[in-house]
Amino acid sequence: MAAISQSRRTGSAVYWLYLMPGLIGFVLVVGLPFAMNVAISFTKWRGIGMPSFVGLANYDRLLGDAAFWSSMQHTLFFVVAMAVIPTILSLILAATLFDYVATQFGQGWSSFFRAGYYLPQILPVSAAGVLWSWILNPHGVLNLVLRGLGLEGSNWLGDPSYAIYAVMGVMVWIQIGYSLVVFMSGLGRVDPSLYEAARLDGAGAPQRFWYITIPMLRPEIAVIALTTTIAALKVFAPVFVLTNGGPDNSTIVPSYFSYTHFFATVRVGYGAAISTAQTAITILLGLMFLRLQTRKGDAR
Amino acid sequence: MKTFTRLALMLAATTALTTGAMAEGRTFKVWWYEPADSALGIAWDAALAKFKEAHPDVEVQFELKTFDQINQAGSLILNSSDAPDLMEYNKGNGTAGLVASQGLLAPLDEAYAQYGWDATLNEAALQLGRYDENGVFGSGPLYGIPNYGEFVSVFYNTDMLAAAGLSVPTTLAEFEAVMDAFVAQGVVPIAEAANDYPAQHLMYLLALSQATPEWVADFQGLKAELDPAPFLYAGQKLQEWVEKGYLSKDATGMKADDMAAQFTSGASPFVVTGTWYGANFGGIEGFTASQFLFPGNHLSAGSTGNIWVVPNGADNKDLAYEFISLTLSQDVQNLMGNSGGVPIAADPAQITDRIGSLETELFNQLVAQGGLGFYPDWPVPGFYNEVLQATQAVIGGTATPEEFAQRLKDAYDDGMSM
Amino acid sequence: MKKTGLTRWVVLGLLVGLLALMLAPIALAVINAVKTAADYAARGPMALPRSFDLSGLRDFWSHVNFPLKLWNSLLLSGCAAVFGVLLSLLNAYAIGIGRVRAGRGILVLILMGIMIPQESLVYPLYYLTKSVGLFDSLWSVIIIFTVLQAAFGTYLLASVLSEFPRELLEAARVDGANRWQILWQVVFPILRPTLAVLATFFFIWTWNEFLLPLVLLASNDHQTISVAMGVLSGQYVSDPTTTAAAALLGILPTLIFFLIFQRTLTRGITVGAVK
């Protein structure tokens, strides 16, 4: 027993060599810049020239900034729109495509649908912004269709009570493809005979979904849940192109908020404080999540 | 010691040789970010062609940059060794002012006299080219040379006005009467976008209708805490106009493109926006567009345009100055006007383009009456977003005019103290 | 065994309906991409085109020197994809198979690469690249995206490799293979489909990156397509029809890339692919 753990430890040491390039890259591209960002957050600085040290003044301001707090709240909406809904929808879609379409209509159809659903992912956000503005503006496609159906249209992006849901809708549209592709590739390793056997045992589609698809995809679900949650916590570009955080700050998010200070007001110190706080929260959530994931993994 | 001297001499000789060689094959790097088919792009392209003709031995490296890049990374690029010899830069404290105060721009006072720019420009046109040691515009050395003008006015659909038997209003009351007539026909008179920059220009025009030049000087120069009375009036008017149907609440969900489409498709007879739309509106199919200054206003939102700046580290400052001279030359300025732009030093008689000549004339009129009120978002960095949101809120009815004015005042006073 | 015809068609109908919804915005882009500016101005974005005109696109092509930008984007995204996958593999091999001490801590550290909002890296990276003479160089951006993308890749591959069948590794070790050989002759072949998925993602994500290339690549000669698309919108006025056309043109390479890798995508991420 002792010998085994001994050999494992020496083995471990050699593996550090494999980690070296990654760690060096991390230090240079992420670690050092982040440390600099933290340092900047204690200064008043305009991006060029000499920063002047102001201690905790930026954080002090941050705590009292109502816009920051409402931006943190909106983050929850984006977690729903980017992590929760797309994950659930694409799980169902993946199962349907894999368990039903592929067997009933053939592999080609299932690939075709997957490619189609994935397309929004590859469209640059700036272009997506133009397209959705055509759709969601008060004289846009959506209202035209609704009125055609005899329904009331709405001012989707201009009314504070709708804007965040409109942006959420766009996010679901963008995000589905990503989780779908990951889930379908995960299903690729499932033996189709498993489904066949379950079918013969009389298991219906919901049962197969619940007892085969979900357990098989557990690692992918974890990966997707964590990465999309992280993406939601730092979402920026879609908000920027669709609403500029408005109307009435009803769609403002932390990244938009820090971006404004980094590049519009050029209060780089304050921007750095915002993003440091934001990163700290993200890391905290990430750690909690990873712990949960490992515990579940151990339990299995 | 002798060896050392000889070495130094050799080194000096080599340097001299290389610089000599470089002088023959010089490169001139110039950047701007006006789209190639815009009036400015067309005019400056012509200036560049002239430049190449005059300097066949100089290699010209022109790059068409994007507004985004220069707006967000301009200061960082100017702070590096990759800056060009000459570039178009955004006027204002947060951009040109910031880099000027950091010593990254070459002062142009000498060149201004030496190259005879003083013959075409006057001191009033240089306000946004001068920045003091804190980077605030209006005084201090000259760092930027303007080349064109811009202002916000009312574009209108001449066919719709004629069909309704209405004439161009000259006072605010007349303007409101004309709009009443359109509302009675079931038409929304003003195409507007409040999910973007245009609505704050209309808001500012309404505020300027109540403002004195002193108020503007104080407001733009951060001279005192904000006197919000004109903004309160603007907020009240916007609310009233929405209630009377002069503009739709729907504007809160519209972008500038959507607004332009509402006007160009003939759905609304008016749009209140800047001369940057002049070229587009000049070529509308289906009806003829024309423009008038905001009725009754002595002051309008407007200014001289973006400026030419010469980075302090530029290798070929003399070439940069020559190019600036070319862009200020009569031919180039006339071409700009004839392409639908607003030249700063053109001969109005030479401009045949309908919109271009109208814009030039109105701009000259504004300059002559001291009517350039600049823009509402300038004084405080980041004010833009605050004004945008507050204007959107008052149009959407989620903020009262009082709340609207208070929001602007809070943000302004806070920005002053930063 | 086949279901009744009705369910079949209902399911297919639903899927097609959803697909139509997903693709409607893109269809809108296609409709407007071929319009003249005047047609758009007169009838708005929703009308079917009455004109066919790609001159906006042609102008865009020549104004921004599209082939050069295409090459830059391909180089950047291609390198970031290949190097990013390689780096992820090495990291994950050490963490998932090597089980180095504090592996989870290191994983979290590396994950910071996707947790940190990019805008906070802009100023530091600007000063760092400038200090080593890599400002305005594609290579600095390639290195940056390689590391940032590898953060995601390391996480994904580490979770995959932690469930890698140990007996396979043992067998290889008994045969006398060293760790390097095991990585390339045992682990790599089995992971290949997953690596292809990763490479596809990295390629597409890097392709659409905007902020860092915008700031770090000052000169046009080094710029990418996503940044160059900015010339279509000025300070106040933008050109929606050409934007639509350019966007479609810009996604063609990523689309081709995706379609090529479609096949590998189906083969899957390999947690337990070894039977």
Q: Which of A71-80, B378-387, C142-151 has the lowest mean pLDDT?
A: B378-387
State chain C's mean pLDDT as an integer: 86
What are the tens digits of pLDDT across the range A11-45? 567 888 999 999 999 999 999 999 999 999 999 99
Q: Rounded to an integer, what distance in angstroms lies between the CA atom of residue C14 and that of residue B413?
A: 56
Q: What angle do CA B223, B225, B229 make, to 5 degrees?
A: 110
pLDDT band at C125 (very low <50, low <70, confident <90, very high): very high
Which among B250, B251, B418 has the least Cβ separation from residue A267? B418
In a domain, residue B358? The reply is no
In a domain, residue C6? The reply is no
Is A26 in contact with C122 (CB distance < 8 Å)? no
Per the structure block, which two tokens stand in for C236?
Answer: 């106040």
Based on the fold, state whether residues B378 and B238 are members of the same structural domain.
yes
Average the pLDDT over A175-189 and give the result. Answer: 87
With a cut of 60, say whether residue A300 has pLDDT above it.
Answer: no
Which among C3, C23, C28 has the least Cβ separation from residue A116? C23
In a domain, residue A20? The reply is no
Based on the fold, state whether residues B139 and B251 are members of the same structural domain.
no
Which of C31, C120, C125, C214 is the best residue to mutate to test the A interface, defined by the most A CB atoms within 10 Å of its own CB? Answer: C120
With a cut of 90, say whether residue A79 has pLDDT above it.
Answer: yes
Quote ipTM for the complex. 0.87
Based on the fold, state whether residues B165 and B267 are members of the same structural domain.
yes
* A12 with C87: Cβ contact below 8 A: no
* A11 with C125: Cβ contact below 8 A: no
Give the per-residue pLDDT at B24: 55
In a domain, residue B6? The reply is no
Q: Which of A284-288, B404-408, C128-132 has the lowest mean pLDDT?
A: A284-288
- Residue from B417, B44, B69, B51 nearest B226 by CA: B417
* B265 with C44: Cβ contact below 8 A: yes
In a domain, residue C11? The reply is no
Which among A22, A33, A184 has the least Cβ separation from residue C91? A22
Chains near B (3 or more Cβ pairs under 8 Å) = A, C
In a domain, residue B8? The reply is no
* A158 with B382: Cβ contact below 8 A: no
In a domain, residue C53? The reply is no
In a domain, residue C254? The reply is yes
In a domain, residue A192? The reply is yes
In a domain, residue B411? The reply is yes
Per the structure block, which two tokens stand in for B241?
Answer: 């106009």
Provide the domain count of chain B.
2
In a domain, residue A47? The reply is no
Q: Which of A4-13, A178-187, A213-222, B394-403 has the lowest mean pLDDT?
A: A4-13
Show residues of chain A in contact with B399, CB under 8 Å: 248
Q: What angle do CA A168, A174, A179 make, to 5 degrees?
A: 110
Based on the fold, state whether residues B342 and B400 are members of the same structural domain.
no
Show residues of chain C in contact with B63, CB under 8 Å: 219-220
Q: Rounded to an integer, what distance in angstroms lies between the CA atom of residue B349 and that of residue B360?
A: 10
In a domain, residue A165? The reply is yes
Give the per-residue pLDDT at A297: 54
Q: Rounded to an integer, what distance in angstroms lies between the CA atom of residue C187 and that of residue C90?
A: 11
Based on the fold, state whether residues B243 and B312 are members of the same structural domain.
no
In a domain, residue C4? The reply is no
pLDDT band at C4 (very low <50, low <70, confident <90, very high): low
* B264 with C42: Cβ contact below 8 A: yes
**By residue range, what is the domain housing residue B176?**
151-303+373-417
Show residues of chain C in contact with A176, CB under 8 Å: 22
Q: Which residues contact B364 (CB under 8 A, 6 or more apart)?
A: B348
With a cut of 80, say whether residue A265 has pLDDT above it.
Answer: yes
- Residue from B32, B147, B16, B40 nearest B84 by CA: B32
In a domain, residue B405? The reply is yes
In a domain, residue C45? The reply is no
Helix (H) / strand (E) containing A52? strand A52-53
CATH number at residue B51: 3.40.190.10
* B66 with C230: Cβ contact below 8 A: yes
Q: How far is B352 from chain A (nearest CA, A)?
A: 35
In a domain, residue B122? The reply is yes
Is B375 in contact with B201 (CB distance < 8 Å)? yes
Give the per-residue pLDDT at A134: 87
With a cut of 70, say whether residue C270 has pLDDT above it.
Answer: no
With a cut of 50, say whether residue A5 has pLDDT above it.
Answer: no
In a domain, residue C78? The reply is yes
**By residue range, what is the domain housing residue A162?**
58-299
Cis preceding linkage at C240, omega within 30: no
What are the tens digits of pLDDT across the range C52-65? 888 878 888 888 88
Show residues of chain B in contact with C130, CB under 8 Å: 80
Q: Rounded to an integer, what distance in angstroms lies between the CA atom of residue A259 and that of residue A253?
A: 10
HEC profile of chain C: CCCCHHHHHHHHHHHHHHHHHHHHHHHHHHHHHCCCHHHHHHHCCCCCCCCCCCHHHHHHHHHCCHHHHHHHHHHHHHHHHHHHHHHHHHHHHHHHHCCCCCHHHHHHHHHHHHHCCCHHHHHHHHHHHHHCCCCCCHHHHHHHHHHHHHHHHHHHHHHHHCCCCHHHHHHHHHCCCCHHHHHHHHHHHHHHHHHHHHHHHHHHHHHCCCHHHHHHCCCHHHCCHHHHHHHHECCCCECHHHHHHHHHHHHHHHHHHHHHHHHHHHHCCCCCCCC
Based on the fold, state whether residues B109 and B238 are members of the same structural domain.
no
Any idea what DSSP says for residue B96? I
Give the per-residue pLDDT at C256: 84
What are the tens digits of pLDDT across the range A229-260? 999 999 998 998 899 888 988 999 999 989 98
Based on the fold, state whether residues B340 and B402 are members of the same structural domain.
no
Question: Is the pLDDT higher at C100 or at A235?
Answer: A235
The residues that bridge with B274 in the sheet, in sequence order, are B152
Q: How far is A102 from chain B (nearest CA, A)?
A: 42
Give the per-residue pLDDT at C264: 66
Give the per-residue pLDDT at C163: 76
**By residue range, what is the domain housing residue C150?**
64-267
Based on the fold, state whether residues B144 and B191 are members of the same structural domain.
no
* A22 with C154: Cβ contact below 8 A: yes
State chain A's mean pLDDT as an integer: 87
In a domain, residue A33? The reply is no
Average the pLDDT over A143-162 and give the result. Answer: 90
Q: Which residues contact B109 (CB under 8 A, 6 or more apart)?
A: B141, B142
Based on the fold, state whether residues B156 and B219 are members of the same structural domain.
yes
Provide the domain count of chain C.
1
pLDDT band at C48 (very low <50, low <70, confident <90, very high): confident
Locate the chain C residue with the closest alpha carbon to B273. Answer: C236
The dihedral sign for the CA sequence B101, B312, B336, B281: negative
Q: Does C121 touch chain B (CB under 8 A)?
A: no
Give the per-residue pLDDT at B418: 62
In 3-state terms, what secondary structure has residue A89?
helix
Based on the fold, state whether residues B315 and B296 are members of the same structural domain.
no
In a domain, residue B253? The reply is yes
Chains near A (3 or more Cβ pairs under 8 Å) = B, C
* C22 with A176: Cβ contact below 8 A: yes
Provide the domain count of chain A.
1
What are the tens digits of pLDDT across the range C197-225? 889 899 999 998 988 999 999 888 999 98
Show residues of chain B in contact with C209, CB under 8 Å: none
In a domain, residue C1? The reply is no
CATH number at residue A285: 1.10.3720.10
Question: How big is the A-B interface in CB pairs under 8 Å?
Answer: 105
Per-residue pLDDT for chain B (418 aa), expressed as one digit of tens each? 444 445 444 444 444 444 444 445 789 999 999 988 889 999 999 999 999 999 999 999 999 998 888 988 899 999 998 899 999 999 988 889 989 999 999 999 999 999 999 999 988 889 999 999 988 898 999 999 999 999 999 999 999 999 999 999 999 999 999 999 999 999 999 999 999 999 999 999 999 999 999 999 999 988 888 999 999 999 999 999 999 999 999 999 999 989 999 999 999 999 999 999 988 898 888 899 999 999 999 999 999 999 999 999 999 999 999 999 999 999 999 999 999 899 998 888 899 999 999 999 999 999 888 899 999 988 887 788 889 999 999 999 999 999 999 999 999 998 887 6
Residues, chain C: 275
Give the per-residue pLDDT at B239: 97
Show residues of chain A in contact with B90, CB under 8 Å: none
pLDDT band at C41 (very low <50, low <70, confident <90, very high): confident
In a domain, residue B12? The reply is no
Which of A44, A46, A143 is the best residue to mutate to test the B interface, defined by the most B CB atoms within 10 Å of its own CB? Answer: A46
Give the per-residue pLDDT at B410: 92
